[in-house]
Structure 1
Amino acid sequence: MPDALHPCLTCGACCASFRVDFAVQEMQDMGGTVPGGLAVEVTDTTCRMRGTDHVPARCAALTGTVGVKAACGIYEWRPSPCREFEAGDHACNRARVRHGLPALADGLIF
């Protein structure tokens, strides 16, 4: 798909569907990459991206409109659960359907 836009650049459904917890060591002030202020401490060992435990969920780092044009405002510095999320897998398609978007093919590679 050389000329096609990556579906994640118009989606953002995952960022507006799931709670995102990660190790405190991923925070910038602990030597990681996630900017301070975008996460809250849950326990001594766990942080959560702001907004992901709200109803409806929406990560504080998500910019744009879900399903139209969306992007992660901290893409290069996002936490490990976001890095591990795969376009087209079961969780992705659950999030897409939740937001009225069509499912993607499993295992998309761009």
Structure 2
Amino acid sequence: MPNPSPADYECDGCGACCGAYLIFASVDDARREPRIEAETQRLAGWLETPKWAYRLHPLPFHESCCFLDADRRCSIYETRPTVCREFAAGDEPCQKARAMRGLPPLEPLARREG
């Protein structure tokens, strides 16, 4: 079987990526999801870019993104930031995040179903 592509994977909702990487949101993300502005940290003006205006992770006293609920599910999934929408299940960053949390590699769908 050739190497699987990210399209061959489906996120299992482990939440590992939400604690392994810096997570930033844009002003447009905050317009789509008002909780971003209300509950995260706005970057200093000189640090802002078109993609980065708010920091969701890391924040003080949080081990992962502040929008993960007690079940490690995204509480703003439908309106999540673009960076989260672009994160691909099964790609190298996903697998590294899982390994850092002591989770097994995410298997391609064909292997999980078969």
State the TM-score, normalized to the length of structure 2.
Answer: 0.68
Task: Give structure 1 stretches of 5+ with no counterpart.
Answer: 1-5
Higher relative contact order (CA 8 A, sep 6+): 2
1:93 aligns to 2:98 (yes or no): no
Q: Which has the higher strand share?
A: 1
Question: Which whole-Å CA distance do the structure 2 matches of 1:104 and 1:72 have between them?
Answer: 18
Residues 68 and 74, structure 2, Cα contact 8 Å, conserved in 1 = yes
Q: Distance in 2 between matches of 1:21 and 1:12?
A: 16
Which residue of the partner structure matches residue 42 of structure 1? 43
TM-score, normalised relative to structure 1: 0.70
Report the structure, 1 or 2, having the larger helix content. 2
Give the 4+ runs in structure 1 shifted more than 3 A.
54-57
* Mapped partners of 1:84, 1:92: distance in 2: 12
Separation in structure 1 between the aligned mates of residue 102 and residue 69 of structure 2, nearest angstrom? 19
Larger-gyration structure (1/2): 2
For structure 2, the residue ranges without an aligned partner over 5 or more in a row are 1-9
Question: RMSD between aligned alpha carbons?
Answer: 2.5
Provide the aligned length of Structure 1 versus Structure 2.
93
